[in-house]
Amino acid sequence: MSEENNAKKTFVAGAALLGVAGVLVKLLGVFFRIPLGNIIGADGLGYYQTAYPMYILMLTVSSSGLPTAISRMIAERRSTGDYYEANRVFRISFKVMAALGLATAVIVYIFAPWITKLQGEPDAVYALRTTVPALLLCPVMSCYRGYFQGRKSMGPTAVSQVVEQVFRVGIGLALAYLLLPRGKAHAAAGGSFGASAGALFGLIAVLFVFVRHRPVMVAEIRESGRKPIQPTSGIVRDLFAIAIPITIGACIMPILNWIDTLIVKNVLVDIVGYTDAAARSLYGELSGMAAPIINFPQVLTQAICLSLVPVITDAFKRDDMDFVRKNSALGMRYAALIGLPCSIGMIVLARPIMQLFYSSQPESIANASACLAYYAVGLFFLAAVHALTGVLQGIGKQGIPVKNLFIGAVVKVAVTYLLTQIPSINVKGAAIGTTCAYIVACWLNLAAVRRFAGMKLDLKLMLIGPLISSAVMGAAAFAVYRVLSSRMGNAVSTLAAVFAGVVVYVIMVFVTRSIKMDELSSVPGFRKLSRLLKRK
């Protein structure tokens, strides 16, 4: 098999592995947020969601850019056989990330009362402070994940993600239930502590894999020698040169989600005239009920991005621009194959999905369903943003996605502020604003990839086929739900509609030739199917 085919296999197989793990993680997340919402209600979710954006923001500061930088720098050194230098990158990065984790943990613990008071929910301080151990542990865990990703090995990341989420869900829900008698603010804090428990067990899982892998690493170092090529200061400088733009870009949306807690609730209370309790419940419907479901498909497109970076970096380092162009287009096509059906499916089944998950919150379903539908419009564009960002990071243009997402973020703030003031729109304005941000960032990133990577757009293969397949799928899912809902109830009808949609979409993808047969053979477990389809 050629080097190009090996690289392509690594990208597709890695994305598939991370995608499967991500789906499991999100399924577990659904089984966390939904029971949590049913335990503490929209009001309790208001406390939880007041703390959660700040936690995500600080976690992003300490854990987002550096793992990608580690992955890219290790991939570069391994492409030239510098295994000792690759290991030095990991060891130096470990110290940097441990220090960042400690700093963010201390900052959040000290300033938590001021932060939550500024957001208008001082009792959310308990929920925010229980995330402090996670802020300390997650950067260290992310360092190990970045090391394995740089080796194009996505298994350790996948395993640790699943283990982390299992313990987060189990411990978080148990504590929320046990602390409910003390009030919803304390119950929300119990749910938040699940993140810290999950981080501990996720770190243990990836450490176990690392210890088993250590003999291989030692053998590689012995083969390449132990002479340092780059001084420590140079490695640190390069790490931050790559990581800072990525971190800034990754922080933009968490910052905007945090700003949402300021804009949305304050506008609803001060301008529209809602009470504090009503505004908190509306915000809980937006961020605690609709947002977790819309985040579900993102794991698949984020997997594409994570898998693309080391593969594109390797090819770019070898000056193989033809391979860069082919995999840029491949990543974009996979984003369309995932993003378009998710967008259409969630728009068509928005209300049934919300009824399925939040049957105990009937008064919140209508507004949360509308938020879900508006969010869903942006799913395809977000998928494209992830794929295009992976390409740009791989070719060393990590600053461009940051600039483009910032432009989109400015659009989001303006749209959110203006639309939230309209009583009939209220919190749905924030969902519309987020979708607008993704649309703007997508088109700007696409222009950059075409310019710097020379990616060619095959609209028939990349967009038309997935769009036709998704439209047929949406019509089939809607029809199945309408036929069954009056006879079998919402839960069975929704699940049947989703299943029918998946089956129809898979069939249509092959009918429209949106997936090539040779691509199936590069994914473990699909080789036999590929051979069978070729025979037919």
DSSP 263-331: HHHHHIIIII---HHHHHHHHIIIIIIIHHHHTTTHHHHHHHHHHHHHHHHHHHHTT-HHHHHHHHHHH
| pLDDT value, residue 11 | 54
For residue 501, the tally of other CB atoms under 10 A from its CB is 25
| pLDDT value, residue 308 | 66
Tokens of 451: 């310019």
Looking up tokens 């989001």, which residue turns up?
A: 412
| pLDDT value, residue 82 | 83
Of the chain, the end-to-end C-alpha distance in Å amounts to 25
Contact between 126 and 188 under an 8 Å Cβ cutoff? The reply is yes
| pLDDT value, residue 396 | 79
Q: Which helix (H) or strand (E) holds 124?
A: none
Contact between 439 and 378 under an 8 Å Cβ cutoff? The reply is yes
Query: Taking the mean position of all CA atoms in its chain, how far away is CA 203?
Result: 19
Report the C-alpha gap between 13 and 24 in whole angstroms: 17
Report the C-alpha gap between 325 and 449 in whole angstroms: 9
Short-list 72, 101, 79, 77, CA closest to 88: 77
For residue 487, the tally of other CB atoms under 10 A from its CB is 8
Tokens of 464: 């038309």
Give the CA dihedral 504, 508, 511, 517, nearest 10 degrees.
Answer: -100
How many residues are there in the chain? Answer: 536
| pLDDT value, residue 445 | 92
| pLDDT value, residue 7 | 45
Report the C-alpha gap between 21 and 306 in whole angstroms: 13
| pLDDT value, residue 9 | 47
Does the CA dihedral 357-361-366-369 come out positive or negative? negative
| pLDDT value, residue 341 | 93
- The secondary structure of 348-391, three-state, reads HCHHHHHHHHCCCCHHHHHHHHHHHHHHHHCHHHHHHHHHHHHH
Please give the C-alpha separations between residue 459 and each of 149, 152, 331, 447, 451, in angstroms, as whole numbers: 31, 29, 14, 15, 17
Q: For residue 431, what are the contacts with CB-CB under 8 A and spacing of at least 6?
A: 286, 290, 371, 372, 374, 375
Query: Taking the mean position of all CA atoms in its chain, how far away is CA 465?
Result: 25
| pLDDT value, residue 250 | 67
Please give the C-alpha separations between residue 384 and each of 164, 248, 303, in angstroms, as whole numbers: 27, 19, 12
Q: Count Cβ atoms within 10 A of the Cβ of residue 1 and give its class: 0-12 exposed, 13-18 middle, 19 or more buried.
A: exposed
Report the C-alpha gap between 467 and 339 in whole angstroms: 10
Report the C-alpha gap between 337 and 502 in whole angstroms: 12
Give pLDDT tens digits for 312-358: 777 777 777 887 787 778 778 888 888 899 999 999 999 999 888 88
- Tell me if residue 1 falls in helix, strand or coil: coil
Give pLDDT tens digits for 31-79: 677 788 778 877 787 788 778 777 877 777 777 777 878 888 888 888 7
Q: Which amino acid is at 353?
A: I
| pLDDT value, residue 181 | 86
| pLDDT value, residue 226 | 67
Tokens of 402: 């940051």
Contact between 33 and 340 under an 8 Å Cβ cutoff? The reply is no
DSSP state of 226: S
What residues of the chain score a pLDDT lower than 70? 1-23, 26, 29-31, 225-228, 249-256, 258-259, 299-310, 516-536
Looking up tokens 């930088």, which residue turns up?
A: 69
Does the CA dihedral 450-454-460-462 come out positive or negative? negative
For residue 106, the tally of other CB atoms under 10 A from its CB is 13
- The secondary structure of 269-288, three-state, reads HHHHCCCHHHHHHHHHHHHH
Short-list 457, 449, 332, 320, CA closest to 397: 449
| pLDDT value, residue 290 | 84
| pLDDT value, residue 8 | 45
